[in-house]
Amino acid sequence: MAEEQQHHKEQPIIIKKVKKGGGHGHHGGAWKVAYADFVTAMMAFFIVMWILASSEEVKQKVAEYFQHPDRFDIFTGERKTGPLPVDIELGSTSKQGDGQSKQKKDFFIKFDRSSKDTINMNFITKAMQDSIEAMRRVEEVETTLKKKFSNLLTERPDLEKLLSSIKIEMTKEGLRIELIESTESLFFEVGSAKLRAEAINILKALAQEIGKLPNYVEVEGHTDSRAYSTKTGYNNWDLSTDRALAARRILDTSGLWDGQIIKVTGFADKKLRNPENPFDASNRRISILIKQISASQFISNN
């Protein structure tokens, strides 16, 4: 009897655990995903409500941040210092089929931390609009001049060589008008800065239209590479400068407003129109540049 009791006491005790239900209980991760989505949605909701309740200035800054994140520091959220590129499309410069090609230009507007709170996007937009309007007015002058010279050619066929030597084209710098010489010396007397009578009339007609614009003007004189033969030391530098000054005098007294011409330069033969033939007569020319007014200039003037 004692042996049976001893044997009974030595039997191992086995404990069985029974899991109830087929789910994972609190060890599952699905609720975490749902909770994260809920928190994100609530955060977005409160941000939207904050923006709606904010001032127009704050709304503009938030909009600018999301539209142009490259303008802000990724760590601090502050506006970056240095030049800020602004891309705008200028008016059509040439026609291709039924469409029109547009010239795109970058303007660099400089901001610093001290001014970032006073210059807003409305001001920038206004400057860009003013710049586009200035370009539109220059294009109107381009069209007017071409039409005027075309009509003059119809009335005066004898001026064909003279009028065909006037080139008017839009460039990155602005509208450039060139009076290009030929072997017949159409605009100036040979080797001289004395303007011919018809050339003076052309310059007066140009001045009447250019003077209607707010744009500044630069006048350039150019020669070919043929050496100026004189014993006095007078050379192509002198000739190109004197011709530019002669053109300036006519423009200044024929319709340009005071101070519109800001630079007169003689380049001699350093900027050839036909570099493949330095002695070509087309290298002898007067160039009148109507400078484009950029958005950054409108900002700096205010």
CATH number (domain holding residue 235): 3.30.1330.60
pLDDT at 116 over 60: no
Both 193 and 272 in one domain: the answer is: yes
What is the per-residue pLDDT across 140-157, written as a single tens digit (0 to 9) for each? 889 999 999 999 889 989
Lowest mean pLDDT among 13-27, 102-116, 190-204: 102-116
- Of residues 24 and 35, which shows the higher confidence score? 35
Tell me the pairing of strands 174-180 and 166-170.
antiparallel
- Of residues 298 and 58, which shows the higher confidence score? 58
Using CA atoms, how far residue 43 sits from 39, 40, 47, 66, 270, in Å, is: 6, 5, 6, 17, 65
CA distance 152 to 179: 16
Both 101 and 148 in one domain: the answer is: no
pLDDT grade for 49, boundaries at 50, 70 and 90: confident
- Of residues 31 and 179, which shows the higher confidence score? 179
Task: Give the total residue count for the chain.
Answer: 302
Domain for residue 256, yes or no? yes
pLDDT at 5 over 70: no
Both 141 and 276 in one domain: the answer is: yes
Both 122 and 171 in one domain: the answer is: no
Identify the pLDDT of residue 251.
97
Domain for residue 67, yes or no? yes
What average pLDDT does the segment 244-265 reach? 96
How many other CB atoms are there within 10 angstroms of residue 100's CB atom?
Answer: 11
Contact 136, 215 (CB under 8 A): no
- Render the burial of 218-251: b for 16+ CB within 10 Å, e for the rest: bbbbbbbeeebeeeeeeebbbbbbbbbebbbebb
Tokens matching residue 151: 């009509």
Domain for residue 45, yes or no? no
| DSSP SS3 for 234 | coil
What is the per-residue pLDDT across 156-166, written as a single tens digit (0 to 9) for each? 898 899 999 99
Identify the pLDDT of residue 88.
38
- Give the domain-ending residue among 95, 128, 161: 128
- Most confident stretch, 19-33, 81-95, 186-200, 282-296: 186-200
How many other CB atoms are there within 10 angstroms of residue 116's CB atom?
Answer: 14
pLDDT grade for 137, boundaries at 50, 70 and 90: confident
pLDDT at 271 over 60: yes
What is the per-residue pLDDT across 214-228, written as a single tens digit (0 to 9) for each? 899 999 999 999 987
The verdict on pTM exceeding 0.85 is no
Contact 145, 177 (CB under 8 A): yes
Both 189 and 290 in one domain: the answer is: yes
Tokens matching residue 237: 């530098």
Both 240 and 97 in one domain: the answer is: no
Domain for residue 7, yes or no? no
CA distance 16 to 278: 106
What average pLDDT does the segment 180-192 reach? 91
pLDDT at 272 over 80: yes
| DSSP SS3 for 257 | coil
Run of H or E including 248: helix 236-252
Both 65 and 181 in one domain: the answer is: no
Contact 124, 86 (CB under 8 A): yes
Tokens matching residue 174: 């602005």
- Most confident stretch, 130-139, 155-164, 225-234, 287-296: 155-164
Both 174 and 268 in one domain: the answer is: yes
pLDDT at 81 over 60: no
CA distance 57 to 63: 10
Query: What's the domain range around 284?
Result: 135-300
- Give the domain-ending residue among 128, 151, 178: 128
What average pLDDT does the segment 60-87 reach? 61
pLDDT grade for 55, boundaries at 50, 70 and 90: confident
- Give the domain-ending residue among 128, 159, 180: 128
Domain for residue 111, yes or no? yes
What average pLDDT does the segment 158-178 reach? 92
Identify the pLDDT of residue 63.
75
Q: How many domains does the chain divide into?
A: 2
Both 121 and 148 in one domain: the answer is: no
Backbone φ, ψ for residue 172 (5° rounding)? -65, -30
| DSSP SS3 for 230 | coil
Using CA atoms, how far residue 73 sits from 65, 77, 181, in Å, is: 10, 5, 55
Contact 200, 286 (CB under 8 A): no
Using CA atoms, how far residue 135 sits from 172, 241, 288, 291, in Å, is: 11, 29, 16, 10
Averaged confidence pLDDT in the chain: 78
Contacts of 288 (CB under 8 A, 6+ apart): 176, 177, 178, 179, 206, 210, 217, 218, 219, 220, 247, 251
pLDDT grade for 236, boundaries at 50, 70 and 90: very high
Contacts of 112 (CB under 8 A, 6+ apart): 81
pLDDT at 4 over 90: no
What average pLDDT does the segment 71-77 reach? 63
Both 111 and 149 in one domain: the answer is: no
Both 188 and 76 in one domain: the answer is: no
